[in-house]
Structure 1
Amino acid sequence: MIKCIAIDDEPLALQVVLEYCSRISFLSLEKVFTDTDEAREYLKQNKVDILFLDIQMPDINGLQFYKSLSVKPIVVFTTAYKDFAVEGFTVDAVDYLLKPFEYDRFLKACYKAKEYLEFLSSQELQLNSIFVKVNYEIMKINLKDIELIEALDDYIKIHIKPSPVLTLMTLKSISDKLPARDFLRVHRSFIVPIHKIEKFSKSKIWISGKEVPIGSSYNNVYEHLLTISKLG
């Protein structure tokens, strides 16, 4: 079952989403919100797959709200203002529903979201290793074996056992190869595998007995890790 929530400052609009969701067998509408602060707290503590989100709200613009989330569900925007459509897709919205929308149009958006979730799931299953150039050879590295990735001038050091490997590439280029749900850049010089984290604070992460600093410009890392640990 796909878990979703809806946020809208208009109770009647939420009632429409409630009624439509009740007719779709693969959706479970867990909760609806008129208050974005309450919704934010819920998202910090609960796993949500799809977010139905109004854009024009009194306290905060829905686009700004979505961008501010540390863990972002798939989003379907719902609004009466078509001028927001282009900006909505710049944050990778799955769909954009212009109010008032009929059930068939809502169902189409839900199927698009479902297909995208299935695609993401299949990508995660397929991606379990990467290839990097080490000296004059191409080496396969299993993602589950990576303990830490560290920048060293023009090289990066990939910490694996029995010994780390050096490859000529940047943190940005290897980050693009890694699944975002499993690896997190925490400093201009470090990427960490989330599943290897033993403990963390606002300024440090511990992995395999090593202390890894959290960079001052990466101030969302602590909140992100806190959210993940609650979702558990």
Structure 2
Amino acid sequence: MTRLKCIAIDDEPLALKLIARYVHQFPELQLVQTFEDAISGAEYLKQGTIDLLFIDINMPDVSGLELVRSLDKKPLIIFITAYRNFAYEGFELEALDYILKPIDAKRFAKAVDKAIDYYKFKNNDAGGKTDNSLYVYSEYRMVKINLDDIEYIESMEDYIKIHVHNAKTILTLMPLKKVLEKLPADKFQRIHRSFIVAVDKIKSIHNRKVQLAHAELPVSESYMDFVRKWMKFK
């Protein structure tokens, strides 16, 4: 069984005790140390390797944001704080999640489940199965998207909009080329400088238009080879 080594840093002793209690409910986690100040926590991180860090943001000596920025090798990060206004900074540091105090047990569990899933995904440890998911940062936290739910992906300059079946679209800061590299080539195809489609979601192709269940997308000349291959096997 996968076990993630983790530490918690928070200047509030009661918060640390609560985090420790919640962590011990997960057999996949191993809490190796807790710290009431960021400096001691930072020294530990320089000497040892951990997989997951629970860290408060607003601490008197060094803020959690400053500590995370100083790390050469960052573990998975879950920020725990009483302040909402640090969400964007957490997003910039690619925090896995952002939990507001007082810490709710269900909200904590949701963040931990996400950390375990993402750790397995990154380390190719899915019990022999291929993880059929895409992980992106959206709304200041990591979001897991089932590949089978994606209909198409749309470029919006520096951002992409992921159109998901029966759900709201997901906006994330990432170029279209980069997300294409994360997708299986047999399931997704770029058809235009602004669009990637899920191949199995295509209903028809006619006059350089790809018809999906909820959209009609143009096909650029440079991607017509895909259209010819698709029509050949239909």
TM-score normalised to structure 1 length: 0.52
* One-letter code aligned to 1:106: F
Displacement of 1:122: 2.2
Q: Can you list the C-alpha shifts for 1:49-102, whole angstroms capped at 9, x where unaligned?
A: 000010000011211110001121110000000111122111100000000121
Which of 93, 113, 120 aligns to 2:115? It is: 113
* One-letter code aligned to 2:104: E
Aligned counterparts, 1:184-223, within 5 A: none
Q: Can you list the C-alpha shifts for 1:146-191, whole angstroms capped at 9, x where unaligned?
A: xxxxxxxxxxxxxxxxxxxxxxxxxxxxxx9xxxxxxxxxxxxxxx
Q: Which residue of 1 aligns with 2:90?
A: 88
Displacement of 1:38: 1.5
Distance in 2, matches of 1:77 and 1:93, equals 7
Q: Secondary structure at the match of 2:31?
A: strand
Q: Can you list the C-alpha shifts for 1:97-131, whole angstroms capped at 9, x where unaligned?
A: 000121111011001111111121129xx9xxxxx
Q: Secondary structure at the match of 1:6?
A: strand
**Over the residues paired in the alignment, what is the CA RMSD in angstroms?**
2.2
- Return structure 1 stretches of 4+ with deviation > 2 angstroms: none
TM-score normalised to structure 2 length: 0.51
Distance in 2, matches of 1:61 and 1:52, equals 13
Q: Secondary structure at the match of 1:32?
A: strand
Q: Which residue of 2 aligns with 1:60?
A: 62
Q: Which residue of 1 aligns with 2:8?
A: 6
Unaligned runs of 5+ in 1: 127-175, 177-232
| Overall identity of the aligned pairs, in % | 47
Q: Secondary structure at the match of 1:75?
A: strand
Displacement of 1:47: 1.6
Aligned counterparts, 1:21-170, within 5 A: 21-122=23-124
Distance in 2, matches of 1:96 and 1:12, equals 19
* One-letter code aligned to 1:97: I
Q: Secondary structure at the match of 1:122?
A: coil
Distance in 1, matches of 2:24 and 2:38, equals 23
Distance in 2, matches of 1:67 and 1:115, equals 24
Displacement of 1:9: 0.6
* One-letter code aligned to 1:51: L
Q: Secondary structure at the match of 1:41?
A: helix
* One-letter code aligned to 1:105: R
Distance in 1, matches of 2:103 and 2:14, equals 13
Task: Give the aligned length.
Answer: 127
Displacement of 1:25: 1.3
Greater relative contact order (CA < 8 Å, ≥ 6 in sequence): 1
* One-letter code aligned to 1:68: S
Distance in 1, matches of 2:47 and 2:105, equals 30
